[in-house]
Amino acid sequence: MTEPVVLTRELLRELPKTDLHLHLDGSMRLATLIDLARAYRVPLPSETEQGLKECVFKDSYADLGEYLAGFRYTAAVLQSESALERVAYELAEDNQAEGVRYIEVRFAPQLHIHTHMDATAVLRAVNRGLHRARDDFNRRPEVLSGVEPPFEYGIIVCALRMFESHYSEYYGDLLRVHRYAQPRRAFALASLELAEAAVRIRDELGIPIVGFDLAGEELGYPAEDHQEAYHWVHKNFLKKTVHAGEAYGPESIFQAITDLHADRIGHGFYLMDASMIRDPAIKDRQRYIDALVQYIADRRITVEVCLTSNMQTNPAIGNLSNHALRNMRDVGLSVTICTDNRLVSNTTVTRELELATQFIDDGYHLKQVIIYGFKRSFFPGSYLRKRKYVRRIIDYYEQVEEKHRRLQGEAGATPVPVSSKSSRGLEG
């Protein structure tokens, strides 16, 4: 019988991984933020990395508002093609350095549109950075020789459930033009315009735009407002994910999968929380949740779990052991572990997997979750090419696992599993 491998930090770092829920503007390097802020004269509350960690990008936050405060600075410096290209390139580099072999970078192009830069320019710039980083990595001898699998990526465009005029020049112009309409109509129009642009840019320029997302404030801004946009991408074979169940309950997730045809759910933290159901017409709350969970599990609608981010935006959770991931695993949901925002949450994919070992403490189930990330990705290209790529990933995964099993056996002493190490302030 094969000896089980101990889940150590070194193993988790070397294993091939994905990040399917990765925000560009929430994942830049602090040094780059400072550099770009100086170049574009964007005032920061501190001009040192340590100072920004103390006053903006913290390990813990009081609430969602404090968590989101840092985005005003990152979005402000990402208003040129060169800045977008640089940040995209560095983001791919950072992921490659910790063994991540496939990422889906998501962002809201309309946050970066202004007089001198349209949606095409924005998406081209981000794609240039990611494409260059992919090519640089894939020219390495280990990849060219077939010893290691290549690095790949896709782009997900985000519509916003709501926005205000100060969010960007584009949003400000749209609200002024439609100042007599109900704001929700403007929100829906922006989503539809982005959906049409995404499909057209994908088809005409070949940029690997693989998915469409809806992000932003859930409560009071229902997913159903964006049905027309999602219907358009659905008809044009663009895959769909939706931020849902992050700050609202099961009904939000229900809307995402019924009204918006969601293939994946971002966060889904409150999926099984009956106390979050607000519709008085739902009399038997537990039955409603059971049916919803069964539907999601049966159709393998994958939940993009972001442990650190959930703990930071929902401080009332209190302890990591209270996270919904355990319940998701118990009912057989397809889940993948993601970072959400590498900078804002001060995390990495390896770090998130370390935290996940509190719920997934053996090599077999960890492998299942990691490989789900590749299988349930919106991988660009044909189905057969995706299958070939996933097979290559699995083969490499097993090689890395066997290497660490052998090293652990040779070491003599029992390695310390990551689940027994500190969770850096997320447990209590």
Q: Are 102 and 156 in contact (CB under 8 A)?
A: no
The three-state secondary structure class of 50 is helix
Q: Are 347 and 311 in contact (CB under 8 A)?
A: no
Taking the mean position of all CA atoms in its chain, how far away is CA 148?
24
The pLDDT, as a whole number, for residue 413 is: 55
Q: For each of the domains in the chain, give its residue range(s) and CATH number, in order of start.
A: 9-419 (3.20.20.140)
**How many whole angstroms separate alpha carbon 366 and alpha carbon 86?**
33
- Across 2-151, where does the E strand assignment appear? 17-23, 100-107
Helix (H) and strand (E) counts in the chain: 18, 8
Task: Name the pTM for this structure.
Answer: 0.95
CA 324 vs CA 67, 219, 299, 319, 356: distances in Å:
20, 20, 20, 11, 11
Buried b (16+ CB within 10 A) or exposed e, 176-196: eeeeeeeeeebbbbbbbbbbe
Buried b (16+ CB within 10 A) or exposed e, 77-93: bbbbbebbbbbbbbbbb
Q: Which of 246, 251, 352, 354 is catalytic?
A: 246
The pLDDT, as a whole number, for residue 419 is: 65
The pLDDT, as a whole number, for residue 254 is: 95
Q: Are 62 and 315 in contact (CB under 8 A)?
A: yes
Strands 264-267 and 239-244: parallel
Nearest CA among 115, 113, 95, 114 for reference residue 104: 95
SS3 percent helix, strand, coil of the chain, rounded to 5, is 55, 10, 35
The pLDDT, as a whole number, for residue 425 is: 45
Q: Which long-range contacts (CB under 8 A, 24 or more apart) does 295-300 make?
A: 295/257, 296/253, 296/257, 296/265, 296/271, 296/333, 297/331, 297/332, 297/333, 297/334, 300/334, 300/376
Place of tokens 């089980």: 4
Cross-strand bridge partners of residue 398: none
Strands 100-107 and 17-23: parallel
- What does the block give as tokens for 245? 């169940």
- Across 161-308, where does the E strand assignment appear? 209-215, 239-244, 264-267, 302-305
Active site residue 304: no
Q: Are 133 and 96 in contact (CB under 8 A)?
A: yes
The pLDDT, as a whole number, for residue 316 is: 82
- Average pLDDT per consecutive 10 residues, the chain (428 residues; last block may be shorter): 83 98 98 98 96 94 88 97 98 98 98 97 98 98 96 98 96 96 96 98 98 92 96 98 91 95 96 92 95 96 97 89 94 97 97 96 93 97 97 97 91 65 46
Phi, psi of 32 (to 5 degrees): -70, -40
CA 386 vs CA 96, 102, 134, 348, 389: distances in Å:
19, 12, 17, 25, 5
DSSP per position, 320-372? GGGSTHHHHHHTT--EEE--B-TTTTT--HHHHHHHHTTT--SHHHHHHHHHH
Residue 138 corresponds to which amino acid?
Answer: N
The pLDDT, as a whole number, for residue 246 is: 86
The pLDDT, as a whole number, for residue 317 is: 87
Q: In what order do the strands lie in the sheet with 239-244?
A: 17-23, 100-107, 152-160, 209-215, 239-244, 264-267, 302-305, 335-337
